[in-house]
Structure 1
Amino acid sequence: MKNPETRPALQWSAAMALSGTIGAVVLESGAAAPAVAFARCLVGGVLLVVWCLARGYLRSWRPSPRDLLLAALGGVLLVANWVLLFTSYTLSSIGVSTVVYHTQPLILVGLAAAFLGEKVAKTHLARAGVAFAGVVVISLSAHGDDGQPVRFAGIALALGAAVLYAGTSFVAKQLTHVRPHLLAAVQLAVGTVLLAPALAFTPLPHPVPGLLWLVLLGTVHTAVMYVLMYASIGKLPTTTVALLSYLYPVVAVVVDVLAFGHRLSWPEGLGMLAVLAAALAPQRGGRPRSRTTGESVTRGSGPCGTRTPARPRR
């Protein structure tokens, strides 16, 4: 009998692997971070709207003003997160920035504790301490693709991006009744409008290859990746999602080493392992059960920063 988790696992794995190559696409485009983020929002947003229309998601959606306001706020945080992360690639390296960026699950729990009154377990505090100790080790030992020590600004921008990403996920937690495809489309539309004026200062690349890299980012690494994520995450156990999510930073580090010649020192590698082990380890405890089937369901947030409900929403 065929395992029902095989297809979702392959879809989630593909999405995580694609996420790991985003940094390479950003650098190959040769464009400044705001222009890259604008192109991603524009191309990815248009394609997601087309997808939502084709699936009939827009027909029955009647968003309240509160929903639209929260979705717009999430969009602002999302694109600001991208701009910081894309900038950090040039100041440190793809691998270093991506691993530091993965402190965001721990930051999200902190936000939930501060604003929603959720309890923080001692194990989470221990994991947070291990992760940020890893960040310190990376900051002191890592080298960029040019062989020089990474700039602290690159680490700081990656951490700032992680905070904004966590904020996006935190806002999206209030919108679990909205289909994630629709939420992502609204966020990308907001990002397109917000970043358009920045093109006056950081224009899109003129060479055709640079534009093609940006089109690739918007189509494959945004629209296709989102569809793969949302088609799979609600069908997988939390432990499987956590385990396969390691593909994102691991692929980023491998791409950094093979394509950009990044040399990984053992202290840097140790720091990366500390961050990933602490941030991506599945949390203990039971998962909520579906009201209709009684089976455990997963509710998480993907790399795009939007909430990913386990069951289809209106």
Structure 2
Amino acid sequence: MNAHTTAKVVAMNKNNPVLQWTAAMALSGTIGAVVLESGADAPDVAFARSLVGGLLLLVWSAARGWLRPWTLSRRDLLLAVLGGLFLVGNWVLLFASYSLSSIGVSTVVYHTQPLMLVGLAAAFLGEKMAKSQLVRALIAFGGVTLISLSAHGADGKPVRLAGIALALGAAALYAGASFVAKQLTHVRPHVLAAVQLVTGTIVLAPALLVTPLPTDTSGLLWLVLLGTVHTALMYVLMYASIGKLPTTTVALLSYVYPVVAVVVDVLAYGHRPTWPEGLGMLAVLAAALAPKRTPARQPARV
């Protein structure tokens, strides 16, 4: 392929929101493997991701002239920091859950978060919850129950319920981050993400005193990969595409994330879902990944 053809392909991909969103979801599905391969503790992984991803997003935003003194009001800044606390807390819980259950199980359970967001919007914003949404919530949490009772890890032993509990906690925190983001739709999402990641870097830095970052080159390279490709690049792809796609397309292509995570879990880590577990996974995905409305802007999924 010559240089001219390569440039045309890059330009086509750049202007194709479907490819951009699909690529972002596929990257999301491989995050679990990167986290496990790094060998770092969950708070350290979240710190590294916040540091590297935050710096790159700050550079990206500054290069485009999006960072100005009046970019955020005091209220916006406080909400952005609050959203950042929810976001990085969600990462810590989700990353910790991988080793206690499995990548596939944690990721699927984590996808109950759209329904939690619906509940938050109903409770605090007065948005009406349709009966169909309540039914989907019951189906999703029934699926979580099936997974909890029947899922097994790579060692053939039942997954630890603590891992599933952490994934549910991560989903709740992510729903909180999305709820805050709904109040900041007037803020450019790249800037919002950068502020949230800077917040995460500051809050998680003390964790290094207890659990230091890996000292081996391999572990550090995995963390750099997570911050560059699976955070900064993924954010850019998501925010460049989500506003250009119909809600139904976003919801459908979002299935790529958990499907890739389950495939990675099976191929790389030997996870073999049981029939009840598989049924539970399908119940969660069918119920939770087809929300009535998809927020135009939301924080990265993981």
Pairwise TM-score range, normalised by the shorter structure: over 0.9
How many Å apart are 1:252 and its aligned residue? 0.2
1:42 corresponds to 2:39: no
How many Å apart are 1:301 and its aligned residue? 2.6
Please, what is the CA RMSD of the aligned residues? Answer: 1.7
Counterparts of 1:155 and 1:102 in 2: how far apart (Å)? 12
Q: Percent identity?
A: 77
Counterparts of 2:209 and 2:69 in 1: how far apart (Å)? 38
Equivalent residue in structure 2 for 1:81, among 67, 80, 90: 90
Tell me which amino acid in the other structure corresponds to 1:244.
Answer: L
1:113 corresponds to 2:110: no
1:301 corresponds to 2:298: yes
Q: Which residues in structure 2 correspond to 1:28-39 (within 5 Å)? A: 28-39=37-48
Equivalent residue in structure 2 for 1:190, among 188, 199, 203: 199
Structure 1 partner of 2:212? 203
1:68 corresponds to 2:77: yes
Structure 2 partner of 1:20? 29
3-state SS of 1:157 partner: helix
Q: Which residues in structure 2 correspond to 1:225-304 (within 5 Å)? A: 225-283=234-292, 299-304=296-301
How many Å apart are 1:5 and its aligned residue? 11
Counterparts of 1:66 and 1:213 in 2: how far apart (Å)? 36
Is the alpha carbon distance of 1:188 and 1:126 closer, same or farther for their aligned partners in structure 2, counting shifts above 3 Å? same
Equivalent residue in structure 2 for 1:148, among 151, 157, 161: 157
How many Å apart are 1:65 and its aligned residue? 0.8
1:158 corresponds to 2:155: no
Aligned residues: 291
3-state SS of 1:281 partner: coil
Tell whether the 8 Å contact from 1:145 to 1:263 is kept in structure 2 after alignment.
yes
- Cα deviation digits, residues 130-164 of structure 1 (max 9, x gap): 00000000000001122210101000000000000
Counterparts of 1:209 and 1:177 in 2: how far apart (Å)? 40
Is the alpha carbon distance of 1:212 and 1:237 closer, same or farther for their aligned partners in structure 2, counting shifts above 3 Å? same
Structure 2 partner of 1:291? none
Is the alpha carbon distance of 1:4 and 1:76 closer, same or farther for their aligned partners in structure 2, counting shifts above 3 Å? closer
3-state SS of 2:292 partner: coil
Structure 1 partner of 2:225? 216
3-state SS of 1:231 partner: helix
3-state SS of 1:259 partner: helix
3-state SS of 2:183 partner: helix
Tell me which amino acid in the other structure corresponds to 2:241.
Answer: S
Is the alpha carbon distance of 1:188 and 1:300 closer, same or farther for their aligned partners in structure 2, counting shifts above 3 Å? closer
Tell whether the 8 Å contact from 1:91 to 1:151 is kept in structure 2 after alignment.
yes
How many Å apart are 1:25 and its aligned residue? 0.1
Counterparts of 1:131 and 1:95 in 2: how far apart (Å)? 16
How many Å apart are 1:61 and its aligned residue? 4.3
Tell whether the 8 Å contact from 1:242 to 1:280 is kept in structure 2 after alignment.
yes
Is the alpha carbon distance of 1:250 and 1:302 closer, same or farther for their aligned partners in structure 2, counting shifts above 3 Å? farther
Unpaired runs of 5+ in structure 1? Answer: 288-297, 306-314
- Cα deviation digits, residues 144-197 of structure 1 (max 9, x gap): 122210101000000000000000000111111100000000000000000000
Tell whether the 8 Å contact from 2:44 to 2:211 is kept in structure 1 after alignment.
yes
- Cα deviation digits, residues 220-269 of structure 1 (max 9, x gap): 00000000000000101000000000000000000000000101111111
Counterparts of 1:244 and 1:139 in 2: how far apart (Å)? 26
Tell me which amino acid in the other structure corresponds to 1:121.
Answer: A
Unpaired runs of 5+ in structure 2? Answer: 1-11
Tell me which amino acid in the other structure corresponds to 2:282.
Answer: L
Structure 1 partner of 2:138? 129
- Cα deviation digits, residues 38-82 of structure 1 (max 9, x gap): 000000000000000111111374311111100000111111110
Tell whether the 8 Å contact from 1:33 to 1:83 is kept in structure 2 after alignment.
yes
Tell whether the 8 Å contact from 1:5 to 1:235 is kept in structure 2 after alignment.
no
3-state SS of 1:301 partner: coil
